[in-house]
Structure 1
Amino acid sequence: MLDVRRLRLLRELAHRGTIAAVADALSYTPSAVSQQLSALEREAGVPLLERTGRRVALTPAAAALVAHTDAVLARLEQAAAELDAVRGGPAGPLRIGAFPSAVQALLPGVLARLAAEHPALEPRVAELDPAAATDRLRAGELDVALLHRYDFAPAPAASGVQTEAVLTETLYAAAPADAPFPPDRGGNADDLRRWRDAGWILATPGTLCHTMTVRACEAAGFTPKARHSVDDFAAVLRLVAVGQGVALVPELAVAEGTSANVALTALPLRRHTEVAYRRGAGGHPAVRAFTTALAASAPAALRPAAADAGLPGEG
């Protein structure tokens, strides 16, 4: 019989690439991970890992086993969800991961609704970049997470995770209102080339927001000249207002209003927000309560059309 916990380690190795990374993510020691994977090889009766020095690679048998592991873990999540539904309504801790602008603009309404409708539920929010959220979901450190992806920075596919569309925002170029940035020679007001010579306020390298801005500018034919590195959009807009640079910001960041010193230009670019959870866990009472409250709290103008929302799918 194959041990499910060991199968989970093998799947994480397939995703993360090294035993050290698996150990770090799941709070094991590298030697413990190696021992568990060796035990799994004995259970399987075939080699699962090819070792070259300190590195390991999955054999074809291991790759096939990983594909089955996703389905096995999803059925276990579904079984756990059904058992919790039998026990009663949403209750106990619900660990939520969300990016900063969602924490500010979406979660207060969601948490207020949950407190009113499900007082036994205990939401616990952790602010984090979406790039880290799927790993923490799979590792069991989060129950749900708010993710985003951009037209120029799609999120990488993540095995074992399902997503549902929440809202879609327009991206804006935010520039000092008194800055001399004329339309480009073609007269297109939304062409990023207007700001090719400006200083730019970028997010931290490695985040989707940073990748999106750089790729959008490169698609317009230039590389943005980074002046500041700031992740909080409210702070970004304040810096723009005092002439410290140009930035790309999503609609939620400007929904509360901006300084008169900031000129906003709508761009043909979008940010898409999704709620994610482990595959099979969508029917868990606490997860379903959260997704229902989120759908009700999202600004109506930004919700995806029913035809576009589709069914929950793997991220």
Structure 2
Amino acid sequence: MLDVRKLRLLRELAHRGTIVAVAEALSYTPSAVSQQLTALERETGVPLLERTGRRVQLTPAALGLVEHTESILAILQKAAAELASTALTGTLRIGVFPTAVQTILTPAIVALSTEHPGLDLMVAELDPASVPDALREESLDVALVQEYDYVPVVSEPGLQTEPLLEETLHLAALTAGPLTAWRDSPWIAGTPGTLCHAMTVRACEATGFVPRIRHHADDFGAVLALMAAGQGVAFVPDLGAVAAPATVVLTPLPIRRRTHLAYRRGTGDHPAISAARLALQRAADQMPNGLA
């Protein structure tokens, strides 16, 4: 009988790429991870890892085993959800991106706290690009993820998503003008590696130029403050433009940002996660016209 804990380590190695990264994510030592994977190889009777110096690669047999592992973990999550008490208690960990904290998260957790006082709510603010790993390592239970027209969502094995909100993207500048008018201007974008940064680069490239990014900021309040001070232009979604300075001109673009709810496969019907999904969806549905 294969050990689910060892299978999970193999799954994490497939996603994270190195034994060190797996160890850091799951609070193991690298040697402990290596030992467990070696033991899994003995249990299966087939090579799972190809070692080249300090690096390892998964064999075709290992990749097939990872696919089965995703299904096994989803079944176990579903079984746990079915066994969970209908009285909502315990910890519920929710991950959100910054612009959703005030507009979507706050009314949702107020409703959850009122309707289910036995829930211990914990909120983590993080970039949507970090959400899949956080859900897989179970440091989050439900979270918000995003995609832009130019940065589509990547299907993540072991995770399930559902639509929550769609927004218009705006060009934020001190004067109105088409996107091409800002090809030689300085730009303000998110930190490299974030979806916002990738969207800025790809949207400009699709228009025929590479943006000259002068400043990096992940909070749209900071982006708008820099922009209002004449430090560049930027793309800002509806949620980020709620408190735009009066001097900022927002030009709607035919580009959309879509937000989805994400959770581990098999957990959607867990009473606590089901309640969170409902509260977050209600909060999104109550957004002003033009935001939902």
- What is the TM-score with the length of structure 2 in the denominator? 0.95
- For 2:130 and 2:140, the matched residues in 1 are separated by 11
2:105 — aligned with what?
107
Aligned pairs (5 A) from 1:155-174: 155-174=153-172
Aligned length: 290
C-alpha distance in structure 2 between counterparts of 1:149 and 1:89, whole Å: 34
Please tell me whether residue 53 in structure 1 is matched to residue 53 in structure 2: yes
Say if 2:20 is the partner of 1:20.
yes
Query: Contact 1:234–1:253 at 8 Å: present in 2 too?
Result: yes
Q: Which residue of the other structure, out of 168, 180, 199, is the alignment partner of 1:212?
A: 199
RMSD: 1.5
Structure 1 partner of 2:236: 249
Match of 1:261 in 2: 247
2:60 & 2:198 partners in 1: Cα distance? 34
Counterpart CA distance in 2 for 1:33 and 1:93 is 28
Tell whether the 8 Å contact from 2:239 to 2:291 is kept in structure 1 after alignment.
no
**Distance in structure 2 (CA, Å) of the matches to 1:302 and 1:4:** 46
2: distance between equivalents of 1:39 and 1:150?
42
Indicate the residue corresponding to 1:65 in structure 2: 65
Query: Aligned partners of 1:132 and 1:31: how far apart in 2?
Result: 25
Shift of 1:223: 1.2
Normalising by structure 1, report the TM-score.
0.89
1:164·1:276 contact (CA, 8 Å) conserved in 2? yes
Residue aligning to 1:30: 30
What is the aligned partner in structure 2 of residue 77 from structure 1? 77
Deviation at 1:141, TM superposition (A): 0.9
Query: Does residue 136 of the first structure (1) align with residue 134 of the second (2)?
Result: yes
Tell me the residue number matched to 2:187: 200
Which amino acid is the alignment partner of residue 78 of structure 1?
Answer: K
1:227 CA drift (Å): 1.9
Distance 1:300 1:164 in 2: 21
Tell me the distance in 1 between the aligned counterparts of 2:95 and 2:269. Answer: 19
Contact kept, 8 Å, 2:185 with 2:233, in 1: the verdict is: yes
Q: Out of 192, 210, 213, which is 1:223 matched to?
A: 210
Alignment check: 8 A CA contact 1:167 1:302 kept: no
Q: Is the 8 A contact 1:166 1:303 kept in 2?
A: no
Query: Aligned equivalents of 1:273 and 1:40: distance in 2?
Result: 38
The share of aligned pairs that are identical, in percent, is: 61
SS of 1:227 mapped into structure 2: strand
In the TM superposition, residue 16 of structure 1 has moved relative to its aligned partner by 1.4
Q: CA deviation at 1:257?
A: 4.0
Contact map agreement 2:185 2:212 (CA 8 A) in 1 = yes
Give the aligned partner of residue 122 of structure 1. Answer: 120
Deviations along 1:250-282, one digit per CA (max 9) or x if unpaired, are: 01112x342220000000001010111111000
Equivalence for 1:281: 267
Name the SS of the counterpart of 2:88 in structure 1.
coil
Tell me by how many angstroms 1:89 deviates.
Answer: 2.3
Deviations 1:8-40 (A, max 9, x none): 011111111211111111111111001001111
Q: Give the drift of 1:242.
A: 2.3
- Residue of structure 2 equivalent to 1:9: 9
Measured at CA, do residues 302 and 139 of structure 1 come closer, stay the same or move farther in structure 2, by a change above 3 Å?
farther
* Structure 1 runs, 4 residues or longer, greater than 3 Å off: 300-304
Give the match for residue 280 of structure 2. Answer: 294
Q: Counterparts of 1:224 and 1:209 in 2: how far apart (Å)?
A: 13
Shift of residue 92, structure 1, vs aligned partner? 1.6
Does the CA contact (< 8 Å) of 1:92 and 1:122 recur in 2? yes
Q: Residue 307 of structure 1 aligns with which residue? A: none
Show structure 2 runs of 5+ residues with no match: none
Gaps of 5+ in 1: 184-190, 305-315
